[in-house]
Amino acid sequence: MPPSAPLAYTAKGLAALINDGGDQTLSERTICEWCANNQIPGATRIGGYWLIPGSAVSALFLNVSAPSEPQPEAAAVELSSRDLAIVRGLAAGKSQRQIGLELHLAHATIMQYVKRIRAQLGAHHQAHLIAIAKDQRLI
């Protein structure tokens, strides 16, 4: 886990991170249900909030599934080094703004990259993008 990644997320904060710049949304309620069903390792309920360890964020991405429409046969996708840097940043739990700062690019530029990468991989949302990239061993 990179040093700049948070030690823990609230369900609301994690939903905002996952949905950052995406067309699809993952609700805070869904994340809370996953926590309650022990689908997110290390998630702890404190007061009225679920806290999700930063190390469990990748586990959450693997729990996110795409809508049940048929998918075309996966073709080999080649991403540029810049695309891979952005996907790695997302997989590490960084926001699009953080990635933009690290790569010296505007947030709007990163949003366009993510949108294009999602289209290339056939991802429905940002978390799905990460899951596909891991499945295809791109990251």
Is 3 contained in some domain? no
Indicate whether 51 belongs to any domain: yes
Is residue 139 in a domain?
no
Which residue range(s) make up the domain with 37?
Answer: 8-59
In a domain, 30, yes or no: yes
Confidence bin at 112 (pLDDT 50/70/90): very high
User: Residue 123 domain-assigned?
Assistant: no
Q: Which residue has the tokens 């048929």?
A: 70
| pLDDT higher than threshold 90 for residue 83 | yes
Flag the least confident range among 24-38, 57-71, 79-93: 57-71
Q: DSSP assignment of 99-122, as one string?
A: HHHHHT--HHHHHHHHHHHHHHHT
Gap between the Cα atoms of 19 and 125, Å rounded = 7
Which sign does the torsion angle of CA 10, 67, 97, 84 carry? positive
Q: Average pLDDT for residues 99-103, to the nearest whole number?
A: 95
- Name the pTM for this structure: 0.50
The total domain count for the chain is 1
β-strands 8-10, 49-53 pairing: antiparallel
Which pLDDT does position 75 carry in this prediction? 54
User: Taking CA 50 as the corner, what is the angle to CA 11 and CA 92, rounded to the nearest 5 degrees?
Assistant: 50
Instruction: Classify residue 79: in a domain, yes or no.
Output: no
- In a domain, residue 125? The reply is no
Is residue 15 assigned to a domain? yes
Average pLDDT (68-81) is 62
